[in-house]
Amino acid sequence: AQSVTQLDSHVSVSEGTPVLLRCNYSSSYSPSLFWYVQHPNKGLQLLLKYTSAATLVKGINGFEAEFKKSETSFHLTKPSAHMSDAAEYFCVVSSAGGTSYGKLTFGQGTILTVHP
């Protein structure tokens, strides 16, 4: 079985300050991990993905995440927050095989608020 835990339901930052959204995963095999973002009343958009290549993954809009196997973590960071980053962020793990190939398991989401 696989699961993800997002450690913060809400994160609030000031514009221009760093962003850290925390995610821990549980998987019985080498996982594929993703971060998706959902802006209000919009669909889910892929920010970045880890699929067993480089452990530091760069995504769109200046976001990056580091896969740390020893800590079973995949935290999302951004050096400087922008007002347009305000949204809900989901950490996601993908099933690797069997009858559930590619099935995504979502964390509960972290709502990011950016203050001017």
- For residue 96, CA distances in Å to 14, 25, 101 come to 38, 14, 5
In the region spanning residues 70 to 109, those forming contacts with other proteins, defined by CB under 8 A, are 90, 94, 99-109
CB-side exposure of 101: number of CA atoms within 13 Å?
3
* Of 73 and 95, CB closest to other proteins: 95
Residue 20 or 46: which CB sits closer to other proteins?
Answer: 46
- Name residue 47's beta-bridge partners: none
- Interaction between residue 43 and other proteins (CB under 8 A): yes
To other proteins, the closest distance from the beta carbon of 99 in angstroms equals 4
Q: Looking at 44, 59, 66, 86, which residue binds other proteins (CB under 8 A)?
A: 44
Out of 5, 24, 51, 77, the residue judged to bind other proteins by CB under 8 A: 51
With H, G, I as helix, E, B as strand and everything else as coil, classify residue 83. Answer: helix
Nearer CB in complex with other proteins: 65/81: 65
To the nearest whole angstrom, how small is the minimum distance from the Cβ of residue 19 to other proteins? 21
Q: What own/partner pairs with CB < 8 Å and gap ≥ 24 does 61-66 have?
A: 61/85, 63/19, 63/35, 65/33, 65/35
